[in-house]
Structure 1
């Protein structure tokens, strides 16, 4: 073998050895990076494993916790766990909670290191809304088109047909779906709620039912017994309450109160009424 061939052979051996060393080096680097990634991304103390929920009963709490854990499950960018404390999307959780119309308010707070706190304020049921013809069509207790309303008139959840007078009932002649909507403009609904708050102070009887006429601007308010009241979207409520109080003290109404059918308070300077 010539000197030239010997040198070439030695060069090729060294070159192959160098390539092998580089491969081993890169494999080692990748191994270290993988180990660091596993430590950083998958170590239990850095992953959310506990969701503390405040403001709900046990059954609702359990369901909401499962839904939130499902939101933060899986991987981001094919490698990063969504429940990692450094990559957890609080916005995703907040957007999910915002879609829960039963909640009037909520707060999401991250706790170091593997927990998040979710505080919930539920809407309080102020009334049950139903289409006016529903009770005649469906058996009592059916889950149908009745809706729970909060004190602002937002229909936030479906409900069964109510019976009795424990909860204010609002019957509506309009054929519309109000779920997750206000049943009336706030200024109109406010007139109804003002009457419901103030009339019992005068007659010592709660308003138990409200009837909304088909146009959506005329409202009949029914106390537990006796006559009913009529107002509309343009009624000056303060003046109406004043007129109502005066009308009850008038001679004719006072004498025949047992046979009174309704008092119409829609007009600012006059009170109309009818006997049965």
Structure 2
């Protein structure tokens, strides 16, 4: 039987070679991790200024402070968050929209190499929403029915006003007043009434129904989910029927019109 004998010298040499390989790969791994870290913190690759564009109500300082918080520190304790190639762009945009309900859009990008530009679009007040006619506070609504900010006190009829309960656990800011279909139908009814020569001043809504209040105190009751063109067509056919004598120019001779029952329109004439 033949034995394979190794001399201590050969064993020692092979052991050194193995240790060298381990150290080499370990150093390579460390370099792979830490070299980009050092590069990411290079002063020439850091964001040095923040410019904010498009805001008029929300203060620039508030926006800048939010951005600064997001680009301060490191990812995984290694890579600089203020690096122009690594900064958390999507996180900043998302948090701007979460923090400031007045913003309809927010975008950030690097300009002039070391400058971070923030571009925001603020929502424009389209109407007011109040929980009730004697509510202590009312809120701005945009043209999608989105409640985005508390409104100051206004003189009557500065903004068209919606009244009604909404589902909100805390503040109504950040909620939609009505679902998109209901809001779209409501707006179409309001605009249609204007075309017919009337002056809508407000709309009261419940879970299913809406009531437009005209300037002469006539109520127009309709189903929020019903097609607006059909609702208006039924209304117009009734008020323009000379035998019913319900209209005198832009004045209606009825306390209310109930349009919730298809072609059957119910009304109560003024005495």
Question: Which residue of 2 is the match for residue 267 of structure 1?
Answer: 261
2:40·2:80 contact (CA, 8 Å) conserved in 1?
A: no
The aligned runs of 1:185-264 (5 Å cut-off) are 185-205=179-199, 207-213=200-206, 216-251=207-242, 252-254=245-247, 257=251, 259-264=253-258
Q: Which has the higher helix share?
A: 1
Runs of 4+, deviation exceeding 6 Å: none
What is the distance in 2 between the residues matched to 1:87 and 1:173? 45
Q: Give the number of aligned pairs.
A: 231
Question: Which residue of 1 is the match for residue 177 of structure 2?
Answer: 183
Summarize the Cα distance change of 1:162–1:42 in structure 2 as closer, same or farther, 3 Å threshold: same
Question: Which residue of 2 is the match for residue 7 of structure 1?
Answer: none
Question: Which residue of 2 is the match for residue 151 of structure 1?
Answer: 143
Asked whether 1:165 is paired with 2:164, we answer no
1:55·1:119 contact (CA, 8 Å) conserved in 2?
A: yes
* Deviation of the 1:225 alpha carbon: 2.9
Question: Which residue of 2 is the match for residue 101 of structure 1?
Answer: 101
Structure 1 unmatched runs, 5+ = 1-32, 139-143
* Deviation of the 1:85 alpha carbon: 1.6
Summarize the Cα distance change of 1:212–1:56 in structure 2 as closer, same or farther, 3 Å threshold: same
- Backbone CA RMSD of aligned residues: 2.9
1:131·1:175 contact (CA, 8 Å) conserved in 2?
A: no
What is the distance in 1 between the residues matched to 2:168 and 2:79? 46
SS of aligned partner of 2:124:
coil
What is the distance in 1 between the residues matched to 2:248 and 2:88? 69
- 162-171 or 54-63, larger mean C-alpha shift: 54-63
Question: Which residue of 2 is the match for residue 50 of structure 1?
Answer: 49
Structure 2 unmatched runs, 5+ = 1-33
SS of aligned partner of 1:53:
strand
SS of aligned partner of 2:151:
strand
1:171·1:210 contact (CA, 8 Å) conserved in 2?
A: yes
Summarize the Cα distance change of 1:274–1:229 in structure 2 as closer, same or farther, 3 Å threshold: same
What is the distance in 1 between the residues matched to 2:188 and 2:267? 21
* Deviation of the 1:212 alpha carbon: 1.1
Summarize the Cα distance change of 1:119–1:40 in structure 2 as closer, same or farther, 3 Å threshold: closer
Question: Which residue of 1 is the match for residue 88 of structure 2?
Answer: 89
Deviation digits for residues 110-146 of structure 1, max 9, x if unmatched?
22421122221222222211111543xx4xxxxx4x3
* Deviation of the 1:197 alpha carbon: 1.8
Deviation digits for residues 161-198 of structure 1, max 9, x if unmatched?
55411111111146745432222221112110111222
SS of aligned partner of 1:193:
helix
